[in-house]
Amino acid sequence: MGQYIELTSENFDSVTKEGIAVVDFWAPWCGPCRMLAPVIDELANEYEGKAAICKVNTDEQDELSAKFGIRSIPTILFMKDGQVVDQMVGATSKQEIMKKIDAIA
């Protein structure tokens, strides 16, 4: 069973440098972020071995939020081989996220 990866400034580069990574910037107090959480869990299962499904707690990792210019949460970055190739801001559907992942795969 797949599990999302909690990213910090220590492991961010090593996790995202190769292949596809989906990075959800969120915070515990954010209502739309909590609505998106079950979707992230489902994606972690469905894309296990195909894409790294990750989360960054913006309250704890403010340097990562600043590095990627995160101004609103939830923000989802779609990365390929360490480079941001797309992003979505705000809560969205699982289908929309899957379309973006499949487009860069």
Known catalytic membership, residue 54: no
Question: Considering 7, 15, 20, 33, which one is annotated as catalytic?
Answer: 33
d(CA 26, CA 38): 13
Question: Considering 15, 22, 30, 54, which one is annotated as catalytic?
Answer: 30
Residue bearing tokens 């990792």: 61
Give the residue from 31, 46, 100 showing the smallest Cα distance to 23: 100
Known catalytic membership, residue 33: yes
d(CA 62, CA 51): 24
Task: Return the structure tokens found at 15.
Answer: 């996790």
Just list the catalytic residues.
30, 33
